[in-house]
């Protein structure tokens, strides 16, 4: 890598994140999770900036973002080692160094506290199993197999809901990236 091994100072990180276009680049590369062609990256960033779909972009909108990424933003991110850009293949990818800027990114609170939900599900399941095992009241009449099926179904439904929620959030551009200021 051609970047200087200097520490990513707060000033440098703020400079990197000061551009909404660079924030879009970092967000997209994190979302995709693999190397991306600069053309594809430019198209997605242009679509977000113009609040449209990629297939509805004009050639001018595509070109304006591509040139800006090629000449300014990708070289800047590459020079500090946050992305690696291979000019021959035109591929851009995040490096492990990108995690050093995580503390500076605002993270929106998750509207669904999944960890609490799963803890509650585990507690209810444990109490139900204990009541059936001890034969307390009407719970003594419930077969253990039925309890196992109910707990398994509850876990499967919860995990499916969590996964679908995660996928829906992953495809949305975070509110802080939509801000055109800066």
> Could you tell me the mean pLDDT of each successive run of 10 residues in the chain, 182 residues long?
62 89 92 93 94 91 95 94 93 90 64 84 93 91 92 93 79 56 44
The pLDDT of residue 166:
77
The pLDDT of residue 101:
83
CA–CA distance, 65 with 48 (Å, rounded to integer): 11
The pLDDT of residue 181:
47
Q: What is the CA radius of gyration of the chain?
A: 24
The pLDDT of residue 182:
42
Q: What DSSP letter does each residue of 110-131 carry, written as one string?
A: PSS-HHHHHHHHHHHHHHHHHH
The pLDDT of residue 21:
94
CA–CA distance, 59 with 182 (Å, rounded to integer): 25
Query: Which candidate, 82, 74, 80, 76, places its Cα nearest to that of 98?
Result: 82
The pLDDT of residue 8:
80
Helix (H, G, I), strand (E, B) or coil at 86: strand
The pLDDT of residue 112:
74
Helices then strands, counting H and E runs in the chain, come out as 8, 3
The pLDDT of residue 1:
43
């Amino acid at each position: 890598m051609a970047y200087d091994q200097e520490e990513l100072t707060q000033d440098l990180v703020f400079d990197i994140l000061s551009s909404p276009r660079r924030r879009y680049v970092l967000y997209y590369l994190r979302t995709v999770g693999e190397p991306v062609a600069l053309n594809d990256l430019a198209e997605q960033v242009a679509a977000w900036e113009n609040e449209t779909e990629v297939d509805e972009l004009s050639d001018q909108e595509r070109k304006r973002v591509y040139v800006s990424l090629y000449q300014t933003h990708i070289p800047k991110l590459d020079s500090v080692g946050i992305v690696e850009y291979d000019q021959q293949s035109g591929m851009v990818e995040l490096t492990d160094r990108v995690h050093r800027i995580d503390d500076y990114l605002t993270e929106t609170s998750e509207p669904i506290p999944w960890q609490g939900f799963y803890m509650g599900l585990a507690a209810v399941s444990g109490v139900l199993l204990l009541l059936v095992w001890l034969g307390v009241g009407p719970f003594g009449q419930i077969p253990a197999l039925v309890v196992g099926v109910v707990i398994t179904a509850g876990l499967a439904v919860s995990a499916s809901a969590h996964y679908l929620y995660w996928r829906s959030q992953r495809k949305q551009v975070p509110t802080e990236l939509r801000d055109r200021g800066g």
